[in-house]
Amino acid sequence: MTSPRLTPVRPGHEFNQQALADMLHKALGEKPQKMEVLQFEGGQSNPTFRLTLGQSSYVMRKQPPGPLLASAHQVDREYRVMAALRKSAVPVPEMIMLCEDPEPIGVSFYVMEYVEGRVFDDVSLPNLEPAERQGIYQHLIDVLVELHRVDYREVGLEAFGREGNYYARQISRWSKQYRASKTVEISEMDSLMEWLPNQIPNDDTTSIVHGDFRLGNLIIHPVEPRVAAVLDWELSTLGHPLADLSYHCQSYLRQYEEGSLNSLDLKSLGIPTEAEQVERYKARSGCGEIRHWTFYVVYNLFRTAAIIQGVYKRGLEGNASSRQAALEYKDTCQVLAKQAWDLVDETP
């Protein structure tokens, strides 16, 4: 487990704290008092801060500084989907306020409640007992099923995305964003951008999708093996539910340290296998047999490679939340692209 690392506001991420404090006091209906601001380490996409007012804490997510890629860093989408899900079976923080006007602090932002719990960067869940690891991974799937069960029309998200044609639109989007952030030629990415559009399954099932559903974006209850809150909804939209499931299952394939379950003795750790996670999802959701699994996994490896390339490019330009962390992704896009293309070659 890692406790959320907090630092003073880092250079390049400064903002008008008094303007924020005034707005927050008004939203809460409380008398003004001194506000302490610390920045969370990480949060490569939208910089994240803890705001402390007296005995109460809140979290602010804002857009990063500098030029932004089109359709990226949409903090309003995060706010909107969590506000809509608040009364559902999906655990999310309570939303406090959204400001889409960049004038007060320089960029758009939102504030939500601070949820107590544990954050795990390492997917092997070190220092836990096997039964607790198993419980966390099983509840993770249960929460994902609950998300995909939500009637997006009933919660007011019918205009949150378009129904159908999800993978074609996503492949096009991430291909464009990869090209916009490309720093070196990666032949496997070119091959994937040609292969993927021709392999899309004929299935337009539509649900709310999180878009980045992984252990690192979950707050685990302080003492119980269950998810207390799902965070980081920036990439959420209406889409195909198996995109979320196969994204989660990347952890069983990826080869870089804390983000991978590859080569671990899962049985002794108590962590369900990829097949067990997929079977649990099928049983709980009633989705039936899953065909074209390789496509879904390859699609997500490609998408993750494109996203990480964007993080690396922002690091080069000095716009990432943590420049040092972003620059560590120098070769990750190429590694993921090669792994994805190897899966294509291995699949009949």
pLDDT at 232 over 60: yes
Same domain for 100 and 140 = no
Cα 251 from Cα 125, distance rounded (Å): 13
Q: Quick check: helix, strand or coil at residue 32?
A: coil
Task: Confirm whether 251 is domain-assigned.
Answer: yes
| Share above pLDDT 90 across residues of the chain, in percent, rounded to a whole number | 75
**Are 239 and 138 spatial neighbours (Cβ–Cβ below 8 Å)?**
no
Q: Which of 83, 113, 143 marks a domain boundary?
A: 113
Domain count, the chain: 2
255 pLDDT band (50/70/90 cuts)? low
pLDDT digits (tens, 9 = 90+) for 308-341: 998 888 888 876 656 666 677 788 999 999 999 9
**Are 28 and 54 spatial neighbours (Cβ–Cβ below 8 Å)?**
no
Same domain for 160 and 89 = no
Q: Which of 255, 214, 226 is nearest to 340 (CA)?
A: 255
Query: What pLDDT does 199 receive?
Result: 97
Task: Confirm whether 123 is domain-assigned.
Answer: no
CATH of the domain at 50: 3.30.200.20
Cα 316 from Cα 299, distance rounded (Å): 26
Same domain for 172 and 95 = no
Query: pLDDT averaged over the chain?
Result: 91
pLDDT digits (tens, 9 = 90+) for 179-225: 999 999 999 999 999 999 999 999 999 999 999 999 999 999 999 99
φ, ψ at 38 (rounded to 5°): -130, 150
Query: What pLDDT does 5 receive?
Result: 82
CB atoms closer than 10 angstroms to residue 3: 7
Question: Hey, what's the torsion of the CAs at 319, 321, 323, 325, to 10 degrees?
Answer: -140
Please compute the mean of the pLDDT values over residues 49-61 and round it to a whole number.
95
Structure tokens of 303?
A: 């998408």
Query: What pLDDT does 1 receive?
Result: 47
Which structural domain range is residue 160 located in? 130-346
Q: Quick check: helix, strand or coil at residue 40?
A: strand
Query: What pLDDT does 276 receive?
Result: 98
CATH of the domain at 249: 3.90.1200.10
Q: Which of 54, 82, 113 marks a domain boundary?
A: 113
φ, ψ at 194 (rounded to 5°): -85, -35
Q: Quick check: helix, strand or coil at residue 56?
A: strand
Same domain for 159 and 46 = no
Residues of 94-121 as b/e, b for ≥16 C-beta within 10 angstroms?
ebbbbbeeeebbebbbbbbebbebbbbe
Q: Structure pTM?
A: 0.90
Task: Return the half-sphere exposure (C-beta side, CA atoms, 13 A cut-off) of residue 346.
Answer: 9
Query: What pLDDT does 260 receive?
Result: 85
Please compute the mean of the pLDDT values over residues 275-296 and round it to a whole number.
96
| Share above pLDDT 70 across residues of the chain, in percent, rounded to a whole number | 92
Same domain for 205 and 57 = no
70 pLDDT band (50/70/90 cuts)? low
**Are 272 and 139 spatial neighbours (Cβ–Cβ below 8 Å)?**
no
Same domain for 311 and 225 = yes
Q: Which of 177, 329, 222, 168 is nearest to 4 (CA)?
A: 222
Please compute the mean of the pLDDT values over residues 233-245 and round it to a whole number.
96
263: left (phi over 0), alpha (psi -120 to 50) or beta: left
Same domain for 91 and 152 = no
Residue type, 175: S
φ, ψ at 49 (rounded to 5°): -135, 145
Query: What pLDDT does 337 receive?
Result: 95
Same domain for 236 and 158 = yes
Task: Confirm whether 170 is domain-assigned.
Answer: yes
